[in-house]
Amino acid sequence: MGEVKLIATTQSLFCARIQWALKLKGVEYEFIEEDLRNKSPLLLESNPVYKKVPVLLHNGKSFPESLIILEYIDEVWKHNPLLPQDPSERALARFWAKFSDEKVIFGAFGACRTEGEQQEKAKEAALESLAFLEKQLEGKKFFGGEELGYLDLVVGWIPLWLGVMEEIGGIKLLEEERFPLLHEWSQNFHQIPLIKECLPPRDNLLSYFQASISYHRSLAAKKP
Ligand SMILES: N[C@@H](CCC(=O)N[C@@H](CS)C(=O)NCC(=O)O)C(=O)O
């Protein structure tokens, strides 16, 4: 199937989902750690458009954008399918993945990095987005049904990354009483050995988000 390399950082939630997918498929790969403060020529050549990680290198080609990479992996290594086989379910899984990346991640980060009245507004919006995800779990163990699937990997940042953002932001979004299904899913997902294997140490994430949230708050404080 050819050599597989992943340009990534250990702290990135977008990169973790690719590692999980490769592990679920049993694909051997080389992890190339990128320094995002001093981007390597390899990253700049492999993803000249966005210059972001993750990038998957396979058979002389480079594939950026984590959702696209997940689909590519699923098409090349067909065993342990990630996306649903039914076209309508597949389309909906893609819809919720896009929603999660565009609304939930940035909504949650927005709620954690703001303060005061702005934070209240951002929190309301983030809670509304999380409620949509909660509904997707009704009657299911995983977003993919009985087995882990594409959408589980996409929202797999929630158990660790959201917890860290909440801690630094000083707010709680994923309350157990409000989101019982997401809460239970988070706990189950986090305990899966293959998932745990690729999680960055919590302390690293804490210092990473501490710096990022302090930076955003200082910018906001300077605004007239
Ligand atoms: N939509 C992209 C987002 C990737 C992304 O934002 N990666 C961050 C790391 S978490 C990055 O490379 N940032 C570097 C930069 O913005 O210059 C994906 O799904 O792959």
Ligand 1 surroundings by CB, under 6 angstroms: 12, 14, 36, 51-54, 65-67
Q: How many Cβ atoms are within 10 Å of 64's Cβ, its own excluded?
A: 19
Number of domains in the chain: 2
Ligand 1 centroid–CA 138 distance in Å is 31
Q: Note whether residue 158 is domain-resident.
A: yes
Residue 34 CA: nearest ligand 1 atom is 12
Instruction: Kindly give the distance from the C-alpha atom of residue 180 to the centroid of ligand 1, in angstroms, as a whole number.
Output: 30
Q: Do 126 and 206 share a domain, yes or no?
A: yes
Same domain membership, residue 112 and residue 54: no
Output the CA 75–ligand 1 centroid distance in Å.
Answer: 23
Report the nearest atom of ligand 1 relative to the CA of 13. Answer: 10
Residue 159 in contact with residue 131, Cβ under 8 Å?
no
Does 55 fall in a domain?
yes
Report the atom number in ligand 1 closest to the C-alpha of 52.
Answer: 12
Is residue 81 in a domain?
A: no
**Within a domain: 65:** yes
Q: What is the pLDDT along the chain (224 residues), one digit of tens a residue?
A: 789 999 999 999 999 999 999 999 999 999 999 999 999 999 999 999 999 999 999 999 999 999 999 999 999 999 999 999 999 999 999 999 999 999 999 999 999 998 899 999 999 999 999 999 999 999 999 999 999 999 999 999 999 999 999 999 999 999 999 999 999 999 999 999 999 999 999 999 999 888 888 888 888 778 77
28 and 135 assigned to the same domain:
no
Task: State the pLDDT at residue 219.
Answer: 82
| Structural domain that includes position 96 | 87-222
210 to 27, 83, 112, 170, 176: CA distances (angstroms): 34, 35, 11, 11, 24
> Would you say residue 82 lies in a domain?
no
The verdict on residue 154 lying in a domain is yes
Q: How far is the CA of 178 from the centre of ligand 1 (A)?
A: 30
> For residues 58 and 73, is the Cβ–Cβ distance under 8 A?
no
Burial of 216 (0-12, 13-18, 19+ CB in 10 A): middle
Are 125 and 56 members of one domain? no
Instruction: Return the best residue to mutate from 9, 12, 13, 14 for the ligand 1 pocket (most ligand atoms within 8 A of CB).
Output: 14
- pLDDT of 60 reads 94
Phi, psi of 31 (to 5 degrees): -95, 120
Q: Which domain-ending residue is among 40, 55, 76? A: 76
Question: Could you tell which of 10, 12, 52, 208 is best to mutate to test the pocket of ligand 1, judged by most ligand atoms within 8 Å of the CB?
Answer: 52
Give the burial class of 82: count Cβ atoms within 10 A of its Cβ; 0-12 exposed, 13-18 middle, 19 or more buried: buried
62 strand-pairing partners:
57
